[in-house]
Structure 1
């Protein structure tokens, strides 16, 4: 049989192996536009950040072109991530089991998933990345507008621009670190990248890593949070 969730367009398909829809084509395109924008912003931003990295501007056609393109890529990132936020914010709300998952982080790192509570579509680590990205992108776009002199120079003082530049740089450093953690985790948890490439995961992957989510898809019922509920052996 095929379990369905019409609201999220997620289905469980019988077969060998069983496959589970995780992301629609539109969601995957949205994700990869966001990822590409973030990478381009990181490279162009680092090129403008320090003279020793200025050689990176050659990738964008020179210093002037890099300076002109960087803020526009930031605008693309903001609206692209906004699309992801509107799609996934509900699934990233904190649940009681997320606190238990964090408390047992040593078991997560050791791969002892049998000691963890059943998890919905996203675990606590993924939710933290989502909300950190949300906060940091807001900080980047707001501070970026203040220092975008071509269009907004008349709306802030020199002192405000200096503060905005400092905040922009700090937020950029943090978001690059968060992105690295996000990519590493996707590679570390085998089968995760498939979700954003093909849009589906195997039933075994869903059962092992996001059992509560899989159970809800099959039964069509949303389960109550159970922080101490352990997966069956």
Structure 2
């Protein structure tokens, strides 16, 4: 009895890209819980995850630098794929159809859709904001260079940027779970042709054309 051939999987992310992504994810969680511990006494118990209040204050900025460097590498590798075009603008205009699962009314997307590209650039802005304000607040090394009002302003902006990036990551996680098959892309690195055709049809066509050309 002949076995039915499974559709050939499409590589979406390399092993190094996935490792980079998960380092960013782990450091983000550590920063979120340690940041909350430093932000308000009600969340101080989170500090025990990093060895207590003193260690949390010491490690938080260093973990932040690690996350920023890893994100910068990831963003540099993905930058060209996230430049907005006319189709992406139309995709964003059809966000209502996306949320109502009427994908047949939504413009076809490339490797990333308009929403993913907007999130990508929002993360870049927020990451830069967190880095710059964090440096101003880093008492052990840099805060003595700035006036007290500058440190207080940086603290306020740092909290705002942190809140916004947490919201953005929640949207990112929800979208990854909502679109069935997306989590597989960042765990195994591959997607099915059906997934690519349904959600990123222009990307699928591009890969198909490239493959055909190479043949």
Q: TM-score range by the shorter chain?
A: over 0.9
Q: Structure 1 stretches of 5 or more lacking a match?
A: 1-14, 222-233
Query: Cα offset for 1:110?
Result: 1.4
Contact 2:135 2:143 survives alignment (8 Å): no
Give the ranges of 4+ consecutive aligned residues of structure 1 lying more than 4 Å apart after TM superposition.
none
Partner residue in 1 for 2:102 = 112
* Pick aligned residue for 1:148 from 130, 138, 142: 138
Alpha-carbon distance in structure 2 between the residues aligned to 1:47 and 1:92: 34
The CA deviation at 1:114 is 1.3
- The alpha carbon displacement at 1:106 in A equals 1.4
Q: Deviations over 1:72-94 (max 9, x none)?
A: 00000110000111110110000
Q: Secondary structure at the match of 1:89?
A: helix
**Map 1:149-188 → 2, pairs under 5 A:** 149-188=139-178
Structure 1 segment 26-175 matched on structure 2, within 5 A: 26-175=16-165
Q: Conserved in 1, the CA contact under 8 Å of 2:108 and 2:201?
A: yes
Residue 149 of structure 1 aligns to a residue in which SS?
coil
- Report deviation, 1:125: 1.0
Q: Which moved more, 1:199-208 or 1:122-131?
A: 122-131
The offset of 1:107, in angstroms, is 1.1
Aligned 1:151-230 pairs, distance under 5 A: 151-220=141-210
CA distance in 2, matches of 1:154, 1:50: 24
Residues 183-227 of structure 1: CA deviation (Å, up to 9, x unaligned): 000000000000000000000000000000010011029xxxxxx
Structure with greater contact order relative to length (CA < 8 Å, sep ≥ 6): 1
Normalised by the length of structure 2, the TM-score is 0.94
CA distance in 2 between counterparts of 1:203 and 1:31 reads: 23
Structure 2, gaps ≥5 residues long: none
